[in-house]
A and B are shown apart, each in its own frame.
Chain A
Amino acid sequence: MADNIPEIRNYVFNFGPQHPAAHGVLRLILEVDGETIVRADPHVGLLHRATEKLAESKPFNHSIGYMDRLDYVSMMCNEHGYVLAIEKLLGITPPVRAQYIRVMFDEITRLLNHLLWLAAHSLDNGGMAVFLYCFREREDLLDCYEAASGARMHATYYRPGGVYRDLPDKMPQFQPSKWQSAKDIAELNETRQGSLLDFIWDFTERFPSRVDEYEDLLTNNRIWKQRTVDIGIISAERAIAMGFTGPMLRASGVAWDLRKKQPYEVYDKLDFDIPVGTKGDCYDRYLVRVHEMRQSNRIIRQCVEWLRKNPGPVMIDDYKIAVPPREEMKISMEAMIHHFKNMTEGYCVPEGEAYAAIEHPKGEFGVYLVSDGANKPYRLKVRAAGFPHLAGLNELIRGYMIADVVSTLSSLDIVFGEIDR
């Protein structure tokens, strides 16, 4: 009779690396017992570019652009961590205006990141509409990137000692084209009549109502709640032990935010709140991030108000570190030499080691920098926020259903640019 009993065994299969819900190039090996996940083993490294080793081979400033490409949806925040570590070793502080600009763009970046996360998260859970709405707002924010730095994504805008240049007085406008009528162009340019700050201010006026729109579609949506409530729960204690930071930790009820606890730049002068969750499930992580967007909007408005009133330098005037202004280069030999040395060899950083961390949209983004006194980093280690989050995936989804893998995975907010480095 024993021959008639079918053999029951666990089933092991691949999820990715080409799955649209794998958020890039994740190969996830899932072991299932029926529909229940027994074990998940993420295989990462398919996007490994050895950014840290490349940085060891070139002068400090040449690697700022590589930082954009780590977490490629929160570009300027990556630069910020790297630049802060260099500034710590050099012992320099950027001018206050540069600090406000950095904080403003950090928060714009946080909006960019959370909007993309919300778009992808809702798409993964079956909601196409929110995806399109989020990209509408991202478009405006990427225009801010472009106006300030010249590039829509990989900005390379922050420099040790400040930012590359001051904010433009005039927001670039759409030009007439054969694809858009004069009426369309006028509509598109309606908010672009003033400076970049006016454009950002206008954005912050309408953005809260846009967040309301997303919440209308999701927060009390029955299907949304069925997909996310009580899915992928992690306790506060366990989240700390697993090295979770950022919204992942705050959703479990720990009010830990480096902007409040270890303030850098001018965060201690700004007024904002830290949203925390209670349960640590996918739904709480969604709520925390949505509320963070509202808080970021508040911070941006305070920065715009300050920046309007306080003109000033945005870069230190130590030409051993910063590049002299172009006008000066035309008339001064010394400025010319400084520019040449800065662009080729760069500057030497005193011997030592430093760890600088910022509250990145995904969590704590840390840069550990070892310098032996040369013009190149001796060792650069990027502490990516998403790395421990993905390492905790096995624990988060064990015992849940196959369908919950996608919800949980996208609630982690992972980007392989920073995890694989």
Chain B
Amino acid sequence: MTDAHHLLSQIQSCIPAGIETAVIALDELTLEIQPEKLLEICLKLRDEPDFDFKMLVDVCGVDYLHYGQDDWQTQSATLTGFSRGVMQKLEQVEPAKSNRFAVVYHLLSLNKNQRIRLRVNLPDHHELMVDSVINLWPSANWYEREVFDLFGIIFKGHPDLRRILTDYGFAGHPFRKDFPLIGKVEARYDAALKSVVYEPVSIELRILEPKVIRRDNRYPDEEGASHG
């Protein structure tokens, strides 16, 4: 594969504006892009011979509402062992990221054998809308329908933005973090009405394993020092 650093320097010389940040982690290049520049940058990435990203591999929505929030506070126990759960968190803190929703695109170039990831952070104060890339890559059709269905993000210019994975007549966007895992309604057959009826769920959500975030000495932090 072409080196990610080499690709980044080519992109920086070719695309002057619209890139908020560029990060290389785990040999993968991630560009964060301003929503209004998306189509312009995508067109260059597809058609410039240096990039040649002819294939859109994936479009994915991400909801950062609960990012970095754990259910269980921990404290380090020993220098080498696990940290120890000390207190269950009851109150929810403010979201860690300012932009709640993002759309992530994965592009692939078959000729140059390289990959790139684009992320568009959607501003919270606007309506959730981003330009559709369906005219650049026809494969975006179903991917964007899926993101719309699961996250409620609208793709401007998509000719056929229908729900795709959820049921006919489904309400809500199930992959949002504030949509309960158990759902909102349950279906059953009513013999008297002779039809399927929907009612509010009767089950309760059980968390079998709390989510914990441990910054253990196993993982060095950014400065290379380990946590005690």
Using CB atoms and an 8 Å cutoff, list the residues of chain A in contact with chain B.
Answer: 44-45, 48, 50, 52-54, 57-59, 62, 88-89, 240-243, 254, 256, 261-262, 320, 337, 341, 344-346, 348, 350-355, 357, 364, 366, 368, 370, 372-376, 378-379, 381, 383, 387-388, 390-392, 420-421
Contact = CB atoms under 8 A, between A and B. Distances in A.
B67 A378 contact: yes
Contact of A372 (B67, B175, B208, B216): B67
Interface stretch (B9-17, B33-41, B133-141, B187-195): B133-141
B25 A374 contact: no
Contacts of B142: 387-388, 390-391
A368 B26 contact: no
A373 B68 contact: yes
Contact of A59 (B117, B209, B214): B209
B224 to A, nearest CB: 14
B147 to A, nearest CB: 10
A346 B210 CA distance: 11
Interface of B: 1, 25-26, 28, 30, 54-58, 60, 62-63, 66-68, 70, 81-82, 104, 106, 110, 113, 115, 117, 137-139, 141-143, 163-167, 174-175, 181, 207-209, 211-216, 218-219
A370 B68 CA distance: 11
Contact of B62 (A346, A357, A379): A379
A89 B213 CA distance: 15
Nearest to A334: B81
Chain B contact surface mostly: loop
A354 B26 contact: yes
A58 B209 contact: yes
A357 B82 CA distance: 31
Contact of A241 (B138, B163, B165, B219): B138
Nearest to B220: A350
A79 to B, nearest CB: 19
Contacts of B30: 353
Nearest to A59: B209
Contacts of B68: 351, 372-373
Contacts of A353: 25, 28, 30, 117
A320 B218 contact: yes
Nearest to A90: B219
A390 B82 CA distance: 46
Contact of B213 (A242, A256, A364, A373): A373
A240 B26 contact: no
A341 B211 contact: no
A393 B55 CA distance: 18
A372 B213 contact: yes
A45 B167 contact: yes
Contacts of B216: 320, 348
A48 B57 contact: no
Given A254-B110, A256-B110, A374-B211, A45 B57 contact: no
B54 A241 contact: yes
B110 A44 contact: no
20 contacts: A44-B164, A45-B167, A48-B166, A242-B139, A345-B209, A346-B209, A348-B214, A350-B219, A352-B25, A353-B28, A353-B30, A354-B28, A366-B57, A366-B106, A372-B68, A372-B213, A373-B213, A375-B214, A378-B66, A387-B143
Contacts of A381: 58, 60, 104
Contacts of B139: 241-243, 388, 391-392
The 6 closest A-B pairs by CB, nearest first: A243-B139, A45-B165, A391-B142, A381-B60, A383-B58, A48-B165
A342 to B, nearest CB: 10
Contacts of A383: 57-58, 106
A343 to B, nearest CB: 10
Contact of B211 (A256, A344, A376): A376
Contacts of B113: 261-262
A52 B149 CA distance: 14
B212 A240 contact: no
Given A254-B110, A341-B82, A354-B26, A391 B141 contact: yes
**Residue from A243, A256, A364, A420 whose CB has the most chain B CB atoms within 10 Å:** A243
B60 A368 contact: yes
A14 to B, nearest CB: 13
Contacts of A54: 181
B1 A262 contact: yes
A19 to B, nearest CB: 19
**Residue from B66, B82, B113, B163 whose CB has the most chain A CB atoms within 10 Å:** B82
**Residue from B55, B110, B208 whose CB has the most chain A CB atoms within 10 Å:** B55
B89 to A, nearest CB: 13
A268 to B, nearest CB: 12
A394 to B, nearest CB: 9
**Residue from B63, B81, B113, B139 whose CB has the most chain A CB atoms within 10 Å:** B139
A352 B67 contact: no
Contacts of A357: 57
Nearest to B136: A241
A57 B175 CA distance: 12
B175 A53 contact: yes
A388 B164 CA distance: 13
Given A48-B166, A240-B54, A368-B106, A355 B138 contact: no
**Residue from A341, A364, A368 whose CB has the most chain B CB atoms within 10 Å:** A368
Nearest to A241: B138
A368 B113 CA distance: 19
A368 B149 CA distance: 19
A122 B68 CA distance: 51
B76 to A, nearest CB: 13
B7 to A, nearest CB: 14
